[in-house]
Chains A and B, each alone.
Chain A
Amino acid sequence: NTGVTQTPKFRILKIGQSMTLQCTQDMNHNYMYWYRQDPGMGLKLIYYSVGAGITDKGEVPNGYNVSRSTTEDFPLRLELAAPSQTSVYFCASGYREQETQYFGPGTRLLVL
């Protein structure tokens, strides 16, 4: 198993552009999560999924969308990038609720 992989590692976007952050896990986990991490702040949950075809909003979903068509993949879509979305984005997965979450290496996004 390679765990949780995220692409790209780093991206610069102009205001108003869109992009998709990719996340894939090969551990057959049901639960997947997207977080953002701003400097000096804890991780904030954007969206989560408890299985293929099921997604729900977290604390800070505005400006983002997700889909979960397979167990392995959980892409995060930014439609109209804004400077407030400059952050480091982490994807995580877990087998069950209230068990260890495994995190990817993160995607650093800069919106100018």
Chain B
Amino acid sequence: GESVGLHLPTLSVQEGDNSIINCAYSNSASDYFIWYKQESGKGPQFIIDIRSNMDKRQGQRVTVLLNKTVKHLSLQIAATQPGDSAVYFCAESLSGTYKYIFGTGTRLKVLA
């Protein structure tokens, strides 16, 4: 498969444990944020999003936390499974600009 990121920060977690992936975003005016998952050789896949009027949003096994004070976003994955192994990106957007700024990504490795 395609090598998405050769020198990405890596988070290794034991299967069944919870994972926390962090992201610092760049623009304090950004008002919409997305987390993507990218498996080797594939395009990014939407996981969860959050708008700036919220500080927490939950999905199935995933939670996104937004701290606007320090421009920080985190993705929590509960009961991490082998299928969660991938590169995870955050992206920020400012309404009216039609554009997203993507982070460089974190590689999650799930250990059996």
Contact = CB atoms under 8 A, between A and B. Distances in A.
**How big is the B interface, by class?**
20 to 34
Q: Which residue, A45, A98, A101, A106, has most C-beta atoms of chain B within 10 A?
A: A98
A58 B46 CA distance: 21
Secondary structure of the B contact surface, majority rule: loop
Q: Which residue, B43, B49, B98, has most C-beta atoms of chain A within 10 A?
A: B43
B2 A58 contact: no
A39 B43 contact: no
A34 interface: no
Q: Which residue, A31, A44, A59, A106, has most C-beta atoms of chain B within 10 A?
A: A106
Contacts of A42: 89, 101-105
Given A42-B105, A98-B93, A100-B34, A90 B43 contact: yes
Interface residues of A, number: 29
Given A42-B103, A43-B89, A97-B95, A103 B5 contact: no
5 contacts: A35-B102, A40-B104, A45-B99, A50-B98, A90-B43
Question: 3 tightest CB-CB pairs across the interface, nearest first?
Answer: A103-B43, A42-B102, A43-B102
A61 interface: no
